[in-house]
Amino acid sequence: MTLKPDLFRSKKAVLTAIGLALIAGTTVAQTVTNEPIQWDKRRLEQLERTVRRVDRALNQANAAGEPFILQTDPEVLAVQGRVSTLDRRVDDLEATLQRVNGDVERLTFQLEEASRDNSALRTRLNDFERRVKAIEDAARADAELNGPVVANSPTGNAAGDLAAAVRLVTAEPARGGRALETVVVTWPDTPQAREANVALGDMRVAARDQAGAVQAFAAALSGWPRTPWAAETTLKLASALEASDRDTQACGALGEFTRRYAEGATPALRTRATQLKTRAGCS
């Protein structure tokens, strides 16, 4: 069959023009307005009419036995090339992103592991610091309680030091006893030193240290003072002597009670003195 070049060229030109018009229209719209095409009813109908015309042209060419070769527009080829390049770049970016995600996951795991290690080390360090502080506190307390008692006045006067020591006995007996001993050393010739010895004697009786109690009560009663607490303290001295199997000395202390304090003592104290004489076997 003989081809009709003029007809073929005219159809080809028509199709090429239509394709270029569509591409150019789309390209111009995207370039100028950069807005998506609004596919309303009018545009769809126009596109449908164009497709039907192209379809009729192809059918007519096929019916006439004329070969029809659809040639792609160079601009379309250029766009396809750019799209292909963009596809490759997107693939490269996706591969890079996957590698970055893998690195981030690995670094995140390492960071979490390091954080756990740091937390464990911090816990151990805090425990170590607490143990060191406890050891230091114990060493200071031991030095304070077992070192030599030296003169020291926290308040600057005997009455203030005695009151502070008595309060400390209630809160911390060991340190309170040490404070009472300090009062005795700091203010040896004062009524407060005698009262501190009475308090020390009471603490040693409670600790079942009868020998220490005897020493403290005896120091408080040195010279047999005429004070309100002297009568009861004399009975405490006698009781500590009797408890440490020193009955003769206990009876001597009870004799001093009878001579010096019994007349002004309460009935309860006189009754207690009678009971102690019986226990110690005083004549």
Lowest mean pLDDT among 17-31, 114-128, 179-193, 252-266: 17-31
Q: What is the pLDDT of residues 200-235, one digit of tens each?
A: 999 999 999 999 999 999 999 999 999 999 999 999
Lowest mean pLDDT among 29-38, 90-99, 246-255: 29-38
Whether the predicted pLDDT of 80 surpasses 80: no
Query: Is 216:204 a contact under the CB 8 Å cutoff?
Result: yes
Q: What is the pLDDT of residues 84-105, one digit of tens each?
A: 788 888 888 888 888 898 888 8
For residue 79, the model assigns a pLDDT of 63
| Residues 263, 70: Cα–Cα separation, whole Å | 143
Map out the domains of the chain as residue ranges: 5-34+43-71, 158-280
Q: What type of residue is 184?
A: V
Query: Is 217:204 a contact under the CB 8 Å cutoff?
Result: no
- pLDDT class of 32 with cuts at 50, 70, 90: very low
Q: What is the pLDDT of residues 142-163, one digit of tens each?
A: 666 677 888 899 999 999 999 9
Architecture of domain 158-280: Alpha Horseshoe (1.25)
Helices 230-243 and 247-256, axial angle in degrees (round to 10):
170
Q: Which tokens in the block code for residue 65?
A: 């036995």
Q: Which run of H or of E encompasses 50?
A: helix 41-63
Q: Which tokens in the block code for residue 281?
A: 């076997």
Whether the predicted pLDDT of 242 surpasses 60: yes
For residue 231, the model assigns a pLDDT of 96
Whether the predicted pLDDT of 73 surpasses 60: no
Whether the predicted pLDDT of 255 surpasses 90: yes
